Amino acid sequence: MPNVPQAQSDLDLVRQARLGDNAAFDRLVCKYRPRLLALAVRYTGNASDAEDATQDALVKAYRGLGDFRGECAFYTWLYRITINSAKNLLLVRTRERAVASVAGMEGDGGDASTRGQDLETPERLTLTEDIRATVNASLQALPEVHREAIILRELEGMSYEQIAEAMGTPLGTVRSRVFRARELIDRELRRVFDAGLGRQDKKARASR
C-alpha cells in the first residue's frame, strides 16, 4: 500500500469532518492537540490557561473547518488559531489581574506587601528555578513577533521556512527575529547564570 502524504491525509480527514464525521476530527485532535497545548503553555506561561486556550482553539477550528482551503498545512492553520486564542486569553487574564490589584490596594495593604516579600525571597529559590523563571519572564517580555518566532523555532522545532509560512513573514525576517530573541534571552539569563544560553560572549568575558 503506497504511503499517503501527510498533508493529503489531513485534508482527507478535514473533508470527512466537514461531512459530519466526528471521528475524523477526533483523529486530527489526537494528532495535534499535544503540540498545540505545548505551544499554548509557552505562550501563556500557565498550564491551566494553556488548556483553556487550546480547547477554545479546537472548538473554533471545528466550527471553522469550512474556511480551511488547504492553501497551507493543517497544523499551520491550527497554529494561527491557537496563538489567537492564547492572545485573547492573556488579555482577559491581564484585565483580571488589574482588577484584583486594585481590589487588593483597597484592602489591607500591609498583608499584601508581606505576601509579596515572602514570594520574592531569593533564598527560597534554587538556581534551576531562577533559570526557568528568567527564561519564562524573558519570553513573556519579548515583542510578540519575536516571541512567536523563538517559540516555533526552539520549542516547536519548526524550520525557518515553516515559521515563515506560519507567520506570513519573509524568511530573512524570521531569521532576524529568532536571532534577536536569542540575544535578548541570553542577556537576561546571564544575570543569574554566567553561561547564559551557552554562547561564547568574548566581549562580555573580556570586560569582567
105 exposure class (CB count in 10 Å sphere: 0-12, 13-18, 19+): exposed
Q: How far apart are CA 91 and CA 93, in angstroms?
A: 5
Place of cell 506561561: 45
Q: How far apart are CA 33 and CA 3, in angstroms?
A: 24
> In the prediction, which pLDDT does 119 show?
40
Q: Which fold has domain 119-194?
A: Arc Repressor Mutant, subunit A (1.10.10)
> In the prediction, which pLDDT does 207 show?
41
Alpha helices in 45-170 (DSSP H): 47-63, 74-106, 109-119, 127-141, 144-150, 160-167
Of 41, 36, 110, the residue nearest 75 (C-alpha): 36
> In the prediction, which pLDDT does 166 show?
80
Residues of the chain with pLDDT under 50: 1-2, 4-7, 101-125, 199-208
Q: Which fold has domain 8-107?
A: Rna Polymerase Sigma Factor; Chain: A (1.10.1740)
Instruction: Indicate the domain borders of the chain.
Output: 8-107, 119-194
> In the prediction, which pLDDT does 29 show?
93
CA-CA-CA-CA torsion sign (75, 80, 81, 82): positive
pLDDT tens, position by position, 62-75:
999 988 888 778 88
Instruction: Count CA atoms closer than 13 A to 202's CA, side-chain side.
Output: 0
Element holding 183 (H helix, E strand): helix 171-189
Q: For the chain, how far is it from start to end, CA to CA, in angstroms?
A: 64
Q: How far apart are CA 35 and CA 151, in angstroms?
A: 12
